[in-house]
Structure 1
Amino acid sequence: CSPVILTSDASCDVRAGKINLPEFIVKCPAHCKETKQRVYGTGVFASISSICNAAIHSGVITNAGGKVIVKKMAGQNIYKGTNSNGVRSLSLPKWRESFAVHVGKPKKGVIYPSTLDYIPSRPTYETEALLPCPSLFPPSPCPSAYDPEPKSYPNPIPKPLPRCSRGTAAPENIGTGENYCKVDLAFLMDGSWSIGKRRFKIQKDFLAEVAQTINVGVAGPMMGVIQDDPITEISLKSYSSSRDVKAAVDKITQKGGQSNVGKALSYINKLYFSDATGNRGSAPNVVVVLVDGWPTDKVEEASRLARESGINIFFVTIEGPDENEKHNLVEANFVDKAVCRTNGFFSLPVSSWFGLRKAVQPLVKRVCDTDRLVCSKTCLNANDIAFVIDGSSSVGTGNFRTVLQFVANVTREFEISDTDTRVGAVQYTYEQRLEFAFGQYNNKAELLNAIKRINYWSGGTSTGAAITYAAEQLFSKSKPNKRKIMIVITDGRSYDDVRAPALAVHRQGVIAYSIGIAWAAQDELEYIATDPDKEHSYFVDEFDNLYKYVPKIIQNICQEFNSQPRN
């Protein structure tokens, strides 16, 4: 296949990581801001960011477009999200490559190419039928059949695919050990007695061929194997070449028993991806689950906890249950419950064990498509957030609506669903009222409407009792691995003590923010807030100034999230 050529006139969705040059110049079109192409970082951006929106965010160009110089650099440990020039950038943990943008005035003595080789980010994902291309990775990828936006894949319909002009077979290795496929990859084998010795041997042959295809190496992918007993057969640090991995796979013996996928995923989450076993930290963690028929235990909870720890989960299901067998399932729709997105990317059904070999290349292309492995939890989708809202008579109806707008503005920044960030709300006076619980509204539109519908109560101010009530009614029902965040908004001194209730929720692991307005007591705000106070406690003179603290709160939440190890 011929490489796709991009002239120096870029489109809004072009990401820096898809251009193989250390420094180049592009011309961005107008109105990129409206496309909302994703940007990760501030000043220095992850290479999966849109060049043009990164340039707007940095102030290098305006929304009217213009020329931009792009300079590549090493990957960063943390990319901090901020709101700048009308573009909201997101936070991201470690990424393999970065870039910075500068005003597009050519430097003396530097020759910039007039055309740029552009690597499309969306390969074709067909379960059985693949293009017989001589190379599916840089520098000569095949055209994509999918929309290039990395976030949304609602059951895409493939476009007609061009055939490659050359008839040569694809090479045995489609990996080269380079950073584009730098993943820490673990396979969970089905070792249950139900598959028999012959199928277990087919499974081992499949793993050996995957090892050969991705070309295991310390600069690229590392590969390990777990059997669903569960037991580690090969750790990530055991072997650094495909030949050695293949030899080790050949020696694996079937353990038997049942297909305890849920138990095995819990084992992997707690023990497998650690420094001691060879987890590198700078590479995405990926688990590919091989299962014959269906698991004999539940997988939803174990999979969710693994995903929230930063593990990307793929399922390869061989000879799944037919209509007459579905009543035997321990957990209906177990694949959709186990993977992070039900778009077909993270699940690969194979109709027969004897067709398993055909799944090698489609699977390898997916696990090596690291742009789509931003599926583990980020600061925007890893939380249970409780708003504790002062409804006392001193607030007043108009100001109360302003407070609700502030709550909505903070909420709008997060990814909302039952498996992403969940939001609950309590209003209080002398008494307390649960406005809605975590998970009661599982999409952003419904949640924002629920916030808008909260009715002003009016009464006294018992902030301490409200904090205790939020702990009992909301945080007692938090999910494991969710960060618990409480945002208390008040305009006056409490009639009861706030210190003991605040200390109690801090000890429960709740990260507490206090927002004081007008007559709020500074000492109480500091008691409520998690240490350090200056990062978790804010004060405004007027309700109309609340909006100023939305970006500061979001930025602090993301900075704290990204400073915590998640492998």
Structure 2
Amino acid sequence: MGTVVLTMKASVIEMFLVLLVTGIHSNKEMTKKIKRLKFNVPQINCDVKAGKIINPEFIVKCPAGCQDPKYHVYGTDVYASYSSVCGAAVHSGVLDNSGGKILVRKVAGQSGYKGSYSNGVQSLSLPRWRESFIVSESKPQKGVTYPSALTYSSSKSPAAKADLWSTPTYTSSQNRPGANPGVQRQDSSGAAFQKPVGADVSLGFVPKEELSTQSLEPVSLGDPNCKVDLSFLIDGSSSIGKRRFRIQKQFLADIAQALDIGPAGPLMGVVQYGDNPATHFNLRTHTNSRDLKTAIEKITQRGGLANAGRAISFVTKNFFSKANGNRGGSPNVAVVLVDGWPTDKVEEASRLARESGINIFFITIEGAVENEKQYVLEPNFVNKAVCRTNGFYSFHVQSWFGLHKTLQPLVKRVCDTERLACSKTCLNSADIGFVIDGSSSVGTGNFRTVLQFVANLSREFEISDTDTRVGAVQYTYEQRLEFGFDKYSSKADVLNAIKRVGYWSGGTSTGAAISYALEQLFQKSKPNKRKLMILITDGRSYDDVRIPALAAHLKGVITYAVGVAWAAQEELEVIATHPARDHSFFADDFDNLYQYVPRIIRNICTEFNSQPRN
């Protein structure tokens, strides 16, 4: 009997152990299955910037086509969070242009970001940024949970609405002061000027879920997606009257609120003009919207004429300086408000401002009617002043009552840094003169290859009469101006002109060619343009190049020397700007010239980004 009991106990224990082991094994299998559950990788577009994603570390899938230069990248290896996530992945080599999965990790902001050309992407330099990120292959790290859905920072919906604003036809007949701008004009309606309904726009920029945290951080650092240096030129002339001047100030206060002023975002200063301009406060005076609005309220009207041209010249020379808070890497924007029309000319002053990299916007209120146009000094003055005559840079408002309608479109436009065409960059701020060897040793076939090289370089730049301009000289024993800087004002026209250059044939007098280019090309360069000479030669010069090259360097012409085949290396280094390693290149064969296009562009941009922007 005892034996039977012991046997039964043993069986029960054995069954228990089997069940225990089976349960443990099942749990392990279940754990493995859970671990093997497919991770849902969020997909993003090429234009998504890292700064818009709140998650500190995440895996995402990028689409194909993110190598496009319109997806801006800032930095090398470590990228500013203002960069395209997927563009940075292509630049770093983690992805190719076909897309794929990447791991992104946020890191601290850097004091500077160096641009470079890599994997078909030209990244740009940036002085500093508040946040950075690095990209790597999408291998999850142990112990890290990655989000299956990304958390984005809230967008400012009012400022992001459609940029469509139709200008009503001007029909009212205003009692303009005409030749006597010191007389205050009256409203055609006879109504007292009151703040229009809706002028004090409730912008609602802070989402409801963030209201509870406002008390912890009452002063914003600013919107990093709108990092611009902004100057408002307000009309303080006598003709505007006190009531209109108050509406103008309220408009400025609303703009300050809408922009979310701060050191990591937009900064704003105000210049008032009448007979003469005066700065009320510069970019460093007030670094948050609250203080800026208080300062705007205290502005008093100066009176006098409406000399807007003089004010634009003043801003170009004085406002956007480092001492006044200009940050160098941020676009410079000047918004000019005009009651009716200026009492001086604006075209020349605005041209110099644009060539200094200042994006000029004009807002005109209550323009001249037919019998007042005789008093307008410069007909069509707005189109002569703004950066582009495409409607983007100008607003016309029929009545001061309607000024508030421009608020949201204006905020959207000044923050759209990709469309600020007058911002100075390495690709839109130079006069580039090509000096091309047409000697007999080159030959017809190789000469066409050289012209293709010239075209490939030119294609990288933004070409117009206010952006980069291109000219060309061909030389043998003699020299010939193929076309000057002011000949063509579009990229298509420049490329066609390069294609039409005929091969000359003759000797090789490179020194004389440099002197000729200085006289015929660069003598006519604009004062605020960078001067770049790119010389291509296949042999040693018959004359001395040292004195002409020195003359070019002393005149501020940055010289790149490109040698092919039988060109003398030591001669290239004499011609090239110091340091020669960055400005001289040698190709053993004409067919290999194309390889140097990205290197030359990269060096031009690196050198530009190391210098002050204005």
- Please tell me the TM-score bracket, short chain as reference: 0.7 to 0.9
Unaligned runs of 5+ in 1: 1-5, 142-173
Cα offset for 1:244? 4.4
Residue 516 of structure 2: aligned partner: 469
Residue 12 of structure 1: aligned partner: 46
Cα offset for 1:470? 0.9
SS in 2 for 1:107: coil
Residue 222 of structure 2: aligned partner: 178
Choose from 402, 405, 414 the match for 1:355. 402
1:155-208 Cα shifts (integer Å, max 9, x gaps): xxxxxxxxxxxxxxxxxxx99443435544321111222323332232223223
Change (3 A) 1:501 1:347: same
Inter-partner Cα distance in structure 1 for 2:62 and 2:567: 48
Which amino acid is the alignment partner of residue 196 of structure 1?
Answer: G
Choose from 140, 149, 158 the match for 1:115. 149
- The answer to whether the aligner puts 1:292 opposite 2:292 as a matched pair is no
CA contact (8 A) 2:428 2:463 kept: yes
Choose from 189, 192, 210 the match for 2:237. 192
CA contact (8 A) 1:183 1:220 kept: yes
Inter-partner Cα distance in structure 2 for 1:389 and 1:283: 36
SS in 2 for 1:544: helix
Which amino acid is the alignment partner of residue 243 of structure 2?
Answer: R
CA contact (8 A) 2:536 2:563 kept: yes
Which amino acid is the alignment partner of residue 443 of structure 1?
Answer: S
Residue 152 of structure 1: aligned partner: none
Residue 403 of structure 1: aligned partner: 450
Cα offset for 1:427? 0.3
- The answer to whether the aligner puts 1:62 opposite 2:100 as a matched pair is no
Cα offset for 1:254? 2.7
SS in 2 for 1:116: coil
Residue 88 of structure 1: aligned partner: 121
CA contact (8 A) 1:48 1:371 kept: no
CA contact (8 A) 2:392 2:413 kept: yes
Change (3 A) 1:447 1:374: closer
Change (3 A) 1:237 1:51: closer
Inter-partner Cα distance in structure 2 for 1:244 and 1:84: 44
Inter-partner Cα distance in structure 1 for 2:433 and 2:327: 35
Choose from 518, 522, 531 the match for 2:565. 518
SS in 2 for 1:357: helix
Inter-partner Cα distance in structure 2 for 1:134 and 1:255: 30
Inter-partner Cα distance in structure 1 for 2:166 and 2:590: 59
Cα offset for 1:343? 4.3
Which amino acid is the alignment partner of residue 434 of structure 2?
Answer: F
Inter-partner Cα distance in structure 2 for 1:36 and 1:406: 23
Cα offset for 1:8? 0.9
- The answer to whether the aligner puts 1:265 opposite 2:346 as a matched pair is no
Change (3 A) 1:337 1:111: farther
| Equivalent residue runs for 1:13-162 within 5 Å | 13-33=47-67, 37-75=71-109, 79-85=113-119, 87-94=120-127, 96=129, 97-118=131-152, 123-127=161-165, 137=205
Cα offset for 1:249? 3.1
TM-score (norm 1): 0.83
Which amino acid is the alignment partner of residue 573 of structure 2?
Answer: E
Change (3 A) 1:525 1:227: same
TM-score (norm 2): 0.77
Residue 303 of structure 1: aligned partner: 350
Inter-partner Cα distance in structure 2 for 1:463 and 1:108: 63
Cα offset for 1:317? 1.8
Choose from 260, 272, 275 the match for 1:227. 272
SS in 1 for 2:492: helix
Change (3 A) 1:512 1:230: same
CA contact (8 A) 2:332 2:423 kept: no
Change (3 A) 1:418 1:90: farther
Inter-partner Cα distance in structure 1 for 2:517 and 2:557: 11
CA contact (8 A) 2:229 2:266 kept: yes
Question: How many residue pairs are counted as aligned between the two chains?
Answer: 529
**Radius of gyration: which is bigger?**
2
Aligned identity (percent) is 66
- The answer to whether the aligner puts 1:538 opposite 2:585 as a matched pair is yes
CA contact (8 A) 2:41 2:59 kept: no
Higher helix share: 2
Cα offset for 1:389? 0.5
Which amino acid is the alignment partner of residue 54 of structure 1?
Answer: A
Inter-partner Cα distance in structure 2 for 1:91 and 1:367: 21
Cα offset for 1:226? 0.8
| Equivalent residue runs for 1:248-263 within 5 Å | 248-263=295-310
Choose from 181, 201, 205 the match for 2:246. 201
CA contact (8 A) 2:201 2:254 kept: no
SS in 1 for 2:612: coil
CA contact (8 A) 2:221 2:288 kept: no
Moved more, 348-357 or 322-331: 322-331
Residue 508 of structure 1: aligned partner: 555
Which amino acid is the alignment partner of residue 398 of structure 1?
Answer: G
Which amino acid is the alignment partner of residue 188 of structure 1?
Answer: L
Cα offset for 1:478? 0.8
Which amino acid is the alignment partner of residue 124 of structure 1?
Answer: A
Inter-partner Cα distance in structure 1 for 2:264 and 2:587: 51
Which amino acid is the alignment partner of residue 163 of structure 2?
Answer: Y
Residue 312 of structure 1: aligned partner: 359
Unaligned runs of 5+ in 2: 1-39, 168-197, 210-217
Change (3 A) 1:136 1:463: farther
CA contact (8 A) 1:91 1:379 kept: no
Inter-partner Cα distance in structure 1 for 2:527 and 2:105: 41
Change (3 A) 1:306 1:234: same
